[in-house]
Structure 1
């Protein structure tokens, strides 16, 4: 009996030790926690959760009890947990605009935000939550330095490196703010062009607009195909992802027509794809003849079969906006196109014709 009791006691003590190894969340009010933060010189870490939040529960059960979490958080922070739907958690949620759970706040002694992780949970102990917090702090500190005016070359190089990993959206802004002033010659240097080529992927980003506006000069340094591939790929990806939602259609059409004048081979098929989708998606029955005109001249204007097929795949829903006469014309033109296609593509076009004729 004594043996069983001793074994039970040992397990209990082992469990207690493990609990002590983990993160020490103190039972303090927000005001008390800030006061203790100031007294100890430690920043305040707040786990902002709700009772119905699954990831919040996972973190409390599996991540915060880890020794590595305890070592880091207990040494550096006063830690508290607050339900955002009750007690002073309601005020915290309102004051810091907490909308995603869990959110982790790291506050200075005066209650100002030092760093925050919105939706910062991890889903496995293999994911290093401590490193995730450290990365977020590194990003927050770099953002503060940049906002304070730091622009020296070594800092910007490191800052861009951090942003490439942790904040792609801000990266586009920072690159635009710091690189346009370098001018085309510098931007065409391998290191800078690689950055532009891999990271600038928003049509309306100032640095991308600068590339578009100065594409002839860029082409002299890099070759037209290199510049064309980059520009058309960004427009194509925007269309693929957004399918015209939030896209300035008229502006994109104007851009693509300019690229056609520069003999960018990918500009015309992309413009036709966007035109087809726009007319059909908007239900513009008065513009169906524009689609028919493209179909009529497609074999001549788009000799590349892959380009023709990319445009034809945007005909989905054409039968909903075309009248009977327009459907017959479309079927005739599509048959002519089908006659010049490989068997698998021809079969796809035949299915289009069948659908349109119904």
Structure 2
């Protein structure tokens, strides 16, 4: 099945009629072209070996709505971070991960920087924000928040807008909210968003509450995403300590919750532990 999906993705990427039209020169050349066209510049800083970069190229970049908007409102550049002026751009703009997406206004000023791949809806939202800032709900909400007294209600309203628009700043402001107001009410939709974004410890009481609330299983994808978040955070902790037992304890604790999701072809816990151990030792 996985091979079939990959084959279909490749077919879509080669046969799609709608895709972002990218320049392939230097950043300096693209900035000059954008200035002449009086348009902002969108830059996809990628590497040929980067999996998420290829995924964006096969999905978000060929989305009809996204490509139509970007082609009409931006000059776009694909920049290999490891070739030509790529290393210089990486250093100048503090880029250390692929993909990183840069946005410049028509005057050549950096207007936005997104680290990591985005889905089509997110990419479109970010493009609208850069191209038409004064009509964008995130822009308006930011102005409102910055001139507010920054009380809990002010920050909460801003987080809601960021969440509704799948904005890349959500992680930052959700973390700020959680730091200031850690006693979250998971029955509150906005505070649930804050929890999902900012809490990464599966042992935290809020995490235990979330995992054991059967209502959360109604959105199985979100539930699995949160479990995966715990896996990734714990994996990094275990690797830093070079201690597989940290990872093993987490798998033993969380595997029953995976079973609740009726994941197709889910192996036994012993088989999964063996797989995780192999990955841990080989990376």
Question: Could you tell me the TM-score, scaled by structure 2's length?
Answer: 0.49
Question: By percentage of residues, which structure has more helix?
Answer: 1
Please identify the structure whose Cα radius of gyration is greater.
1
